[in-house]
Amino acid sequence: MNTEIFGVFAMFIITVLLAIPLGRYIGKVYNGDKTWLDPIINPLDKFFYKIGGIKPEKEMTWQQNLVALLIINLVWFLFSMLVMMNMSWLPLNPDGNPSMTADLAFNTTISFVSNTNLQHYSGENGVSYLGQLLLMFFQFVSAGTGMAACAVVFKAMKEKNADKLGNFYSYFVKSCTRILLPLSIVIAIVLIFNGTPMNFQGKDQFISLQGDTVNVSRGPAAAMVAIKQIGTNGGGYFGVNSAHPFENPNYFTNMVENVCIILIPIAMIFALGYMLKRKRFAWMVFGVMTIGFLLLVIPSIYQEMKGSNAIHKMGLLQNLGSMEGKEVRFGPAASAYWGITTTVTSNGSVNAMHDSFTPLTGMFAMLGMMINSFYGGVGVGFLNFYIFIIIAVFISGLMVGRTPEFLGKKIEAKEMKIAAIIALLHPFLILVGTAIASHLYAGNPKEYADWLNNPGNHGFSEMLYEFTSSSANNGSGFEGLGYGNGSSVGDNTPFWNIACGIVMILGRFLPIIGPLAIAGILAKKKYVPESAGTLKTDTSTFAIMIFAVIFIIAALSFFPALALGPIAEYFGMR
């Protein structure tokens, strides 16, 4: 077997083997069962409960859980805006990095609070060490928020009849202290021993192989890189993200970080099976997600290893595959695998330039974000999938002439309306945003001439990718925005900062509100015991139904836009 393919295969198998026991552990944490970390973590949890005035035993309705989630995010937003706009004179700024403008601070704050980590600034030059530490804090709490929201939905699915669905603050604290923190410490130690810096020193100088004097940033990178991967955050400490040798020193760390990207999203599926005592249902969900993931990753690896048609036409050999924008230490297979794992989740970190992917690989990366439910982000990945389950159950019930039921609860008009709105929200945000940007660019060629480095089909893909990444709370980018005519402004303009910020807000919180509302409404309904006519939701037949719903609603909604971008580019290079 090709060593590159073997490396990719090993990463996926290791991830699944680790996710199964981790899922069981997460299920125990949310169930309140005893775990081996209790003696260490219990005092820490009690400390946070005490200073926060939290009563973990006091359960909340789904509305109270939702209000708690939104209020705590509002507080973080206001605090972050204050810091980002005043970094220049605040402490921990040895390199003298400037404060952010209001629109950039708005974009950055929303980006990190929403677990998106879209960066319209260059990591090490755009924020101070204080700013990096604050953003690292948001990488913990935004991931914990998504996991806590998912735990509330798990609780609702578990109960036969309930008005109270756990305590958001308790789920949130447990997600951070018992899951994210221990895993991040382990990953950070691995990175430190492989050369990732962890200090508060300023830039250092060294002489490159070309004889140039280069200033290289240092700082608390290992800690931030660990939580960025394990919490599907993706925000890079350095501008070039995980392609930087300090963030991702070698192939071993590349494997470790890549495993981390989808570890918790997969583990949450098995946590669901443990909490509901429905392991077969969990494996069905995992199967649908994995088939979708493989349909994206396999052709992407093939395309990148095959090489670029445009370079073939020039008569140049591509023995290593398509290597433009990639690190030689990783190669095309590992780069393509990372590119898909980071986009099917809401991670968004990169170890290669996505703008340099061959057209179809770029399309598959966008499709992963457009579908946004093949593993997905920590917690919110299953919430997106939950919407498709509700729709699939409703359609299946109508097809056989029965009232749709899911886990003993009848799916009625109210739940279906909410599910339909949330399912259509994602395409709406992406396509409307791209349409506005395309109109501005085409209608005002002089004013917006610096928007695109590639004004053709690929330029359209760059704009489509930016809004897709924002709506999917992903954060990666084609990074070709704003470099036409020699401009160096990039995507740090009022339009991109504000437009993407608004899309990130809506794309983050509405898909959390919808599933929470549906789960809360269903939890209060009368439980209907299963009978001979009950639709089985843990079978391969239902799995096919879910996959069909995902394909029809999510994938086909974007076909016209993809046809104008990566598909047209692909046939133009033939």
C-alpha distance from residue 294 to each of 286, 288, 330, 402, 465 (Å): 12, 10, 20, 34, 21
Angle between helices 494-524 and 457-471 (to 10 degrees): 40
CA atoms within 13 A on the CB side of 98: 6
Pick the range with the lowest mean pLDDT from 53-62, 215-224, 265-274, 342-351: 215-224
- How much is the pLDDT for 335? 95
Residue 302 lies in a domain: no
b/e map 351-360, b = 16+ CB within 10 Å: bbbbbbbbbb
Structure-token pair, residue 247: 């963030």
- CA–CA–CA angle 262, 308, 334 (5° rounding): 25
Coil, strand or helix: which one is 201? coil
- How much is the pLDDT for 490? 64
| pLDDT category of residue 536 using cuts at 50, 70 and 90 | confident
Q: Give residue-wise pLDDT tens across range 436-484.
A: 998 888 766 666 666 777 778 998 999 999 999 999 999 998 877 764 4
Residue 97 lies in a domain: yes
What mean pLDDT comes out for the span 5-27? Answer: 96
In sequence order, what are the residues at sequence separation of 6 or more whose Cβ sits closer than 8 angstroms to the Cβ of residue 21? Answer: none
Nearest to 368 by CA among 233, 143, 555, 546: 555
In sequence order, what are the residues at sequence separation of 6 or more whose Cβ sits closer than 8 angstroms to the Cβ of residue 299? Answer: 360, 361, 364
- How much is the pLDDT for 445? 62
Where do we find the tokens 């402490």? 91
| pLDDT category of residue 8 using cuts at 50, 70 and 90 | very high
- How much is the pLDDT for 121? 87
Rounded to whole angstroms, the Cα distance separating 116 from 343 reads 11
Percent above pLDDT 90 for the chain: 70
- Please, which residues bridge with residue 352 across strands? 326
Domain residues for 131?
16-278
- How much is the pLDDT for 487? 42
Residue 422 lies in a domain: no
Nearest to 152 by CA among 49, 312, 298, 275: 275
Coil, strand or helix: which one is 215? strand
Rounded to whole angstroms, the Cα distance separating 301 from 338 reads 10
Residue 292 lies in a domain: no
**Average pLDDT, whole number, for the chain?**
90
- How much is the pLDDT for 446? 65
CA atoms within 13 A on the CB side of 43: 2
Q: Provide the residue count of the chain.
A: 574
Residue 14 pLDDT > 90: yes
Residue 181 lies in a domain: yes
Where do we find the tokens 């960025």? 228
Cβ–Cβ < 8 Å for 225, 247: yes
Q: How many domains does the chain have?
A: 1
Determine the residue type at 533: G
Residue 553 lies in a domain: no
Cβ–Cβ < 8 Å for 239, 148: no
Residue 57 lies in a domain: yes
Where do we find the tokens 């990488």? 139
- Please, which residues bridge with residue 206 across strands? 214
Coil, strand or helix: which one is 106? helix
| Alpha helices per DSSP H over 214-328 | 221-230, 251-276, 279-306, 309-313
Residue 187 lies in a domain: yes
In sequence order, what are the residues at sequence separation of 6 or more whose Cβ sits closer than 8 angstroms to the Cβ of residue 231? Answer: 115, 139, 140, 142, 143, 144, 180, 184, 264, 378
Rounded to whole angstroms, the Cα distance separating 179 from 187 reads 13
- How much is the pLDDT for 448? 65
- How much is the pLDDT for 486? 40
